[in-house]
């Protein structure tokens, strides 16, 4: 298993510098989200930021996961981006182009993994779950076709409230996707699994090991949506990690401690105990 840390927990640090410090602590991977102010392909200076991050990744022999679920990237009034399952075909097209664009960026800087959520479906009694899943599968197949030849593996991150809001719903999607595509799998998020009531988490993950591409690990308190510092919530992440290792999982596991950037690297140091 490849141990990683999410740079969302170090939002007050320079990303390239933080990558070096995480490598010195012992992490082998990092995850980064696009940011509307500097890590966005349409903002001035993006190429320079990309180069510095790529250089830091190479110098420290780190793996890089690009987490596309950043906020306010497309509209200053809307936290979420365009949905792959929107009723408007042009919105779906924008969502596909956004993913495909980042696959190209990931290829450019040798990032091996990209994860994304699919968005919310049609809030209508006249649209069935099956119709949503069929439509979604077609959009995903188009993304796969348009990025054919890429070395980047993609993972769907189930997000509570989305059409794919749980690992169980990801499992259903596989019936519409047909034969499992090697480049499109599951990016499970422990926090979202808790929100969806998918307990015990280890058993659900074990059932999907063949599809699992990435795991986001976080600690939570009951009824609270925010990440806690590792060991201060109710999730025993070391048991989840042990179960994944026992099952033979060799992918990336990214610890996320979002909302605690003022504590600097201390939460990252604490989080290493998850992998002991």
pLDDT by position in tens, the chain (length 276): 999 999 999 999 999 999 999 999 999 999 999 999 889 999 999 999 999 999 999 999 999 999 999 999 999 999 999 999 988 889 999 999 999 999 999 999 999 999 999 998 765 444 457 888 888 999 999 999 999 999 999 999 999 989 999 999 999 998 888 765 678 999 999 999 999 999 999 999 999 999 999 999 999 987 777 898 998 989 999 999 999 999 999 999 999 999 999 999 999 999 999 998
Mapping DSSP onto H, E and C, the string for the chain reads: CEEEEEHHHHCCCCHHHHHHHHHHHCCCEEEECCECCCECCCCCCHHHHHHHHHHHHHHCCCEEEEECCCCCCCECCECCCCCCCCCCHHHHHHHHHHHHHHHHHHHHCCCCEEEECCCCCCCCCCCCHHHHHHHHHHHHHHHHHHCCCCCCEEEECCCCCCCCCCHHHHHHHHHHHCCCCCCEEEEEEHHHHHHCCCCCHHHHHHHCCCCEEEEEECECCCCCCCCECCCCCCCCHHHHHHHHHHCCCCCEEEECCCCCHHHCCHHHHHHHHHHC
Strand pairing partners for 3?
A: 253
Pick the CATH number of 6-275 from 3.40.190.10, 3.20.20.150, 3.30.70.20, 3.90.850.10: 3.20.20.150
What does the pLDDT read at residue 122? 64
Of 233, 232, 234, 230, residue with least CA distance to 276: 230
Global confidence as pTM: 0.94
Of 87, 78, 152, 88, residue with least CA distance to 115: 152
């Amino acid at each position: 298993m490849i141990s990683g840390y999410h740079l969302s927990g170090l939002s007050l640090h320079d990303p390239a510098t933080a990558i070096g410090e995480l490598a010195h602590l012992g992490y082998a991977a990092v995850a980064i989200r696009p940011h509307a102010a500097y890590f966005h392909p349409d903002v001035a200076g993006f190429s320079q930021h990309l180069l510095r991050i790529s250089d830091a990744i190479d110098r420290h022999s780190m793996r890089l996961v690009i987490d596309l679920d950043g906020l306010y990237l497309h509209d200053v009034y809307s936290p979420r981006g365009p949905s792959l399952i929107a009723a408007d075909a042009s919105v779906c097209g924008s969502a596909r182009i956004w993913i495909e664009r980042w696959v190209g960026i990931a290829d450019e800087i040798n990032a091996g993994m990209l994860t994304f959520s699919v968005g919310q479906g049609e809030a209508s009694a006249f649209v069935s779950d099956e119709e949503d899943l069929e439509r979604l599968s077609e959009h995903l197949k188009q993304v796969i076709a348009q990025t054919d030849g890429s070395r980047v593996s993609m993972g769907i991150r189930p997000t509570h409230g989305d059409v794919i809001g749980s690992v169980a719903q990801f499992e259903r999607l596989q019936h519409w996707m047909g034969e499992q595509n090697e480049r499109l799998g599951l990016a499970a998020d422990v926090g979202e699994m808790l929100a969806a009531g998918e307990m015990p988490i280890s058993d659900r993950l074990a059932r999907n090991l063949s599809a699992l591409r990435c795991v986001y690990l976080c600690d939570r308190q009951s009824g609270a949506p925010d990440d806690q510092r590792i060991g201060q919530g109710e999730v025993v992440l070391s048991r989840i990690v042990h179960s994944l290792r026992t099952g033979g999982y060799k992918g990336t596991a990214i610890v996320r401690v979002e909302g605690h950037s003022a504590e600097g690297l201390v939460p990252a140091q604490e989080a290493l105990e998850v992998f002991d």
